[in-house]
Amino acid sequence: MSGTLVYKILSDHLTDGELTSSGEIGIRIDQTLTQDATGTTAFLLLEAMEITRVRTELSVSYVDHNLAQFGAENHNDHLYLQSIARKVGARHSRPGNGICHQVHFERFARPGATLLGSDSHTPTAGGMGMIAIGSGGLDVAVAMGGGAFYTTSPRVIGVRLKGELAPWVAAKDIILRLLSVLTTRGNVGCMVEYFGDGVASLPAPDRATCCNMGAELGVTASIFPSDERTREFLIAQGREKDFAPLSAEKSARYDRIAKRLNAQDDAGVIENIRRYCTDVEVTPPGADGLVDVSFGGVVIDLCDLEPLAACSPSPENVHSIAELTGRDVRQVLIGSCTNSSYQDLMLVAAALKGRTVHPNIELGIAPGSRQVLTMIGENGALADLIRAGARIVESGCGPCIGQGFSPADCALSLRTFNRNFAGRSGTKNDRVYLVSPASAVAAAITGEVTDPRELTERFDLPFPRIEMPGKFLIDDGMIQPPATEDEAVKIEVIRGETIVKPPSGRPIPHDLTGEVLLKVGDRITTDHITPAGALLKYRSNVPRYAEYVFNCFNEENKPTFAERALAVKKRGIAGVIVAGESYGQGSSREHAALCPMYLGIRTVIAKTIERIHQANLVNFAILPLTFSDGGAPAGGRRTDYDRIEQGDELKIDDVPGAIASADSITVRDITKGFEFTCKLLLGPRQRKILAAGGLLNYTRESK
Ligand code: MIC
Ligand code: SF4
C-alpha cells in the first residue's frame, strides 16, 4: 500500500506495529463520535474505566437514533448523555440536530485526521479525506481517554473512477456497483481508496455517500482524496481553515485482492469482477465448487454507469433499475446517513415540485440534519415536498432503524438507505430495495420502479442539476459545548432508573465445556442477534435487552434463546453459538456481544466473523473461533460446521494456553464423538484482552 493516501494518514498516526503485513497496528485517534443507541453504554464504560476527561482533539456525543420516546427510556438516555458529555469534555449534539454522520461531515470532519465512532457508518467521513472507522463503544471509550485504536494493518483496494456521472445517475449507483463487484463478504481487513480523474466531478456529499456504504462492503474504512471539491465544501461550511490538500502519490501501489467465491452461486459476481477489475485471475472450480479469484483493482467508468438497486435481503443483491422496471412500489423513503444531504433533498424537491405523489405511494422524508431541514425550509423546497404529499420525519435515523414507517406485508419499499436486511424495516416479510434519491423520486411519481432517466421524456422534467450552495446555514446552537474542568466538577450526571450499569467480562475458564445453544447459517447480522426497532430503547439495560437476543429464531410456545441460555448458564457450563459465513455483519453495536456475554455465551465458532463484531467479542471475553476447514474441506467430506448440531456438548482444554500463543485450538464434540480444529487468529493485544476477561479489565489492569 506504499504511497496510498491510507498509508500516509495511518503512518502519521501510527503508535504501534508496522504498516507492512496484516499484523495489528495501533493508531492515534483525533476525533470520536458516539450516538445515543451505543453512546450510553460507551459513556458508562468510560466511567467504569475511571476516565474523567476526554483527551481527543474533539469528541462528539450525538442523539439521533432513539427519538420516538415511548416510555421514559429514550429521554433518560438523552439526559444522561447530555450531562455526562458536558462533564467529561465532549460536545453534545442534541436531538433534532441531525444524524451523527451527516452532522459530523458538515461541521467537524477534516482531511488528514482520524475518527473513531461507535457506529458502523462512521466511515462516511472518509468522503472528507480522513480515516474514519466504526467500532464498538468500548473501543471508542478507550480512544476518548487518549488510548490508541487497534486494528489490522489494512490491505488497500484501489477504486479508480473515470469520467462523469450522466444526468439522473448518482453517487449511490457508484457504491451499489462496487457492492456488486466486491460483495458484502470477504473484505474484512481492507480499506477502499478512490482515485482517478472521475473523483474531481464528485462533490463532497457524493463522496460521503460512497464511503458510507463501504460499511456494507465490510471494509474498515473508505477514503477520497482531499481536493478543490473538498475545499469548496469546507468554505461553504465556513471551515476553510480545516482544509488540507491530500492525495495518493503518483507511484501509489494498491494491494492485489483475493476472494473465494462459489462458481455457481456467485457467477454474477465473478462476471462483474471480470468486467470491472484489472488483472483478473480465476482458478477452475474445485470439487467443492469454489474458485479463487484475484484482481489488481476496480475501475468504474462513471459515464457508463446506470441507475441501480440493491434488492432485499442484502445490499450486495444489486440489479439495474432497468431490469426491475414496472414493479409495483408502495412506499418510498428518503433519508438516512447515506442520502439525506441538502443536494439529495433539493433534487427530490425539484422533481416533485408542482406534482402529487402517486396515489399508491406513501412517501416519507427524513432530512439528514437541522442544517438541511432549515435550508430547504427557508428556500421553499420543503413546502414543495409537503405540497406533493411527502410526510416529513424529524432529522434522525427514524425508519432506517425500524422506528416507524414499517411497510405493509410484502409491499415493495424503495429507500435511499444503506441496509435492507430482512425484517430491519420492522416488517417480517419486508421487501426493501436500496436506491438513489433520483430513483426513489421516480417511483414516488410513477408508483412503480422507474428508471429516473425516463422522467425527462415522460414527464417533461429536465434533470435538476443541484449546485453546492456557496454558503450553508451555519448554526451550531444545538451542539452543546463541553464544560471547562472547573465547571465540570459541579455537574451532576443525570441517571434515570432505566440506565443500568453494564456487566463486565470474566476470564474464560481453563477447560471450557459448553453447549451449542444455536446453529445459524451465513450472514447473520447484528440485527438478528440483538434486534433494533422498538427494542432499541432497552440498550441501556443489558439484562432487559438480553431477553431478546436471537428473538427472530424463537418459536411460539417454546423457551426463548435467552431462557435456554440462562438455564445452561445455571448448570455452570458455557453457551456456544455456531455460525456460517460473515457472522456479525452490519452494525457496530457491542450489545451483540455484551448481551450474549450476559447470557453466558463464552465462544462463537463460525466460518468467518466480521471485523467489528470480532473485536466486540474479544472486548467482552467471548472466544471468537473460525473453522480451520473454512467450512469447505477438500475431498467433498462433510464440513465440521455440517457435523455439529444444536444441543451438542463441546469441550476445549487449556483455553488460557491457546489464548496465550496458539493460532489453532482443538474442540471436541463430546455428543458426536469427533474432534476438529479451529483458528484463533488474534493479535498480541487481543490475546491479552481475552486473558484479562475483556477490554474493561485489561484497561484497568494496564493503568
Ligand atoms: C445501524 O445502522 O444498524 C445502527 C443502528 O446505526 C448501528 C448502531 C447501533 O446498533 O446502535 C450501526 O450501524 O452501527
Ligand atoms: Fe442511523 Fe440508519 Fe445511519 Fe444507522 S444506518 S446511523 S440507523 S441513519
How does pLDDT run across 274-299, given as a tens digit for each residue? 999 999 999 999 888 899 999 999 99
Atom of ligand 1 nearest to the CA of 134: 14
Q: 634: which DSSP letter?
A: G
Measured from the alpha carbon of residue 589, the closest ligand is 1
73 lines ligand 1 (CB under 6 A): no
Query: Could you tell me the distance, in angstroms and rounded to a whole number, from the CA of residue 666 to the centre of ligand 2?
Result: 39
121 lines ligand 1 (CB under 6 A): yes
687 lines ligand 1 (CB under 6 A): no
pLDDT of residue 632: 61
DSSP 402-425: TSS-PPPTT-EEEESSS---TTTT
Q: 213 and 318 in contact (C-beta within 8 Å)?
A: no
Query: Could you tell me the distance, in angstroms and rounded to a whole number, from the CA of residue 337 to the centre of ligand 2?
Result: 6
List the Cα angle 543/612/702 in 5-degree steps: 75
Measured by CA distance, the residue closest to atom 12 of ligand 1 is: 587
CA atoms within 13 A on the CB side of 540: 25
User: What is the rounded CA–CA span in Å between residue 571 and residue 566?
Assistant: 9
Residue among 66, 102, 344, 401 to mutate when testing ligand 2 (max atoms within 8 A of CB): 401
Measured by CA distance, the residue closest to atom 3 of ligand 2 is: 337
532 lines ligand 1 (CB under 6 A): yes
587 lines ligand 1 (CB under 6 A): yes
Q: 350 and 167 in contact (C-beta within 8 Å)?
A: no
Measured from the alpha carbon of residue 396, the closest ligand is 2
Phi, psi of 256 (to 5 degrees): -80, 135
pLDDT of residue 633: 54
Closest to 512 in 3D by CA, of 621, 372, 585, 421: 621
Query: Could you tell me the distance, in angstroms and rounded to a whole number, from the CA of residue 395 to the centre of ligand 2?
Result: 11
User: What is the rounded CA–CA span in Å between residue 277 and residue 444?
Assistant: 35
Measured by CA distance, the residue closest to atom 3 of ligand 1 is: 587
Query: Could you tell me the distance, in angstroms and rounded to a whole number, from the CA of residue 589 to the centre of ligand 1?
Result: 6
Atom of ligand 1 nearest to the CA of 589: 10
Low-confidence ranges of the chain (pLDDT < 50): none
418 lines ligand 1 (CB under 6 A): no
Integer CA distances (angstroms), 247 to 111, 115, 298, 301, in order? 10, 18, 18, 20
Atom of ligand 2 nearest to the CA of 215: 5
Long-range contacts of 318-323 (CB under 8 A, 24+ apart): 318/176, 318/177, 318/179, 318/180, 321/435, 321/439, 321/449, 321/450, 321/451, 321/452, 322/451
Atom of ligand 2 nearest to the CA of 340: 8
Atom of ligand 1 nearest to the CA of 591: 10
User: What is the rounded CA–CA span in Å between residue 124 and residue 215?
Assistant: 9
User: Pseudo-torsion of CA 270, 273, 275, 277, nearest 10°?
Assistant: -160
Query: Could you tell me the distance, in angstroms and rounded to a whole number, from the CA of residue 559 to the centre of ligand 2?
Result: 32
401 lines ligand 1 (CB under 6 A): yes
- Would strands 281-282 and 149-152 be described as parallel, antiparallel, or unpaired? unpaired
Give burial (CB, 10 Å; 0-12/13-18/19+) of 642: exposed
Can the peptide bond before residue 313 be classed as cis, meaning omega within 30 degrees of 0? yes
Sheet holding 362-365: strands in order across?
Answer: 318-320, 308-310, 431-434, 412-415, 331-334, 362-365, 391-392
Query: Could you tell me the distance, in angstroms and rounded to a whole number, from the CA of residue 399 to the centre of ligand 2?
Result: 9
Name every protein residue with a CB atom under 6 angstroms from any ligand 2 atom.
Answer: 65, 99, 119, 121, 336-337, 397, 400-401, 418
pLDDT of residue 636: 59
Measured from the alpha carbon of residue 333, the closest ligand is 2
Measured by CA distance, the residue closest to atom 2 of ligand 2 is: 400
Measured by CA distance, the residue closest to atom 4 of ligand 1 is: 587
